[in-house]
Amino acid sequence: MSKNFKIVVEYDGTHFFGWQRQKDQKTVQCEIEKILSRIMNQKIRITGSGRTDSGVHAFGQVANFHADTDMKPNMVQKALNGMIKDPIVIRECSLVDDDFHAQYDAISKEYRYYILNREDPCAIGASFQWHIRQPLDMELMGQCCHAIIGVFDFRSFENSGSPRSSTIREIFFSDICQLNHNRLVFKICASGFLKYMVRNLIGTIVLAGQKKISVEEFKAILHAKDRTKAGPTAPPHGLFLKQVNYF
């Protein structure tokens, strides 16, 4: 009997070429499919909520797959976690309606971007945060975060090669806060994201934090709809897909 399984996946993306299956490259999707096919004794293809780029991590990536099996979700979860040797963990596994689609049914996604803001680097955790030595102005960065809440054309923060029919997205929440005296986190929730959009946003917001651009200049960049006007792409290792939201 065919069943539709939904899984929530946590992974360290440091040594993966992103989530999505790629020929001759190690990806998170490929590793899970390989193990699932072995467990189910059939070819399994999984559908993710969307891509994460090379080096990007996830607390809560969502995927679904169909399989002809009598196995219960908890058995599938235990089997996967017992056989995967890479830094991938299946946090949840459940049965969903046959027509559930991890990508098309998603209504929003939440990301987190972590920054270590101090003179000296760290020995532990360097693969999970962007080290910036120059002091950052939290108030200016916060004003930039709040300026993008709403519906806008984010073409200025899109890299080429993004598969999309529109560059308009709705930002439901955007803020930056201090976790401790030298660690910051940028939080954002939106209806969807363009290629490198979060990393391009934080790269430009950091310019405001360094007082290289003003908040008004940041707003002008947003409305320019021109990628060449925006700041650099922030490195991938500070970025985490926190969760995917459904109805």
CATH classification of the domain holding 233? 3.30.70.660
Query: What does the pLDDT read at residue 92?
Result: 98
Asked if residue 87 and residue 111 are part of one domain, the reply reads no
Asked if residue 10 and residue 70 are part of one domain, the reply reads yes
Asked if residue 208 and residue 115 are part of one domain, the reply reads yes
Query: What does the pLDDT read at residue 181?
Result: 85
Positions of E strands within 118-149: 130-132
Give the HSE-up count for residue 103: Cα atoms under 13 Å, Cβ half-sphere. Answer: 9
Asked if residue 193 and residue 122 are part of one domain, the reply reads yes
Query: What does the pLDDT read at residue 161?
Result: 64
Q: How far is CA 241 from CA 9, 27, 58, 62, 244, in A?
A: 10, 16, 4, 10, 8
Low-confidence ranges of the chain (pLDDT < 70): 161-163
| Helix residue ranges, H only, 170-214 | 197-209
In a domain, 102, yes or no: no
Asked if residue 118 and residue 163 are part of one domain, the reply reads yes
In a domain, 228, yes or no: yes
Does residue 53 have an active-site annotation? yes
CA angle 54-182-14, nearest 5°? 15
Asked if residue 231 and residue 126 are part of one domain, the reply reads yes
- 61 closest CA partner among 10, 16, 5, 20: 10
Strands 57-68 and 239-246: parallel
Query: What does the pLDDT read at residue 165?
Result: 82
Burial 35-68 (b: 16+ CB within 10 A, else e): bbeebbeeebebebbbbbbbbbbbbbbbbbbebe
Our count of domains for the chain comes to: 2
- 211 closest CA partner among 133, 132, 131, 141: 141
Query: Rounded to an integer, what distance in angstroms lies between the CA atom of residue 118 and that of residue 83?
Result: 40
Residue 233 is part of which domain span? 107-246
Find the catalytic residue in 12, 24, 53, 226: 53
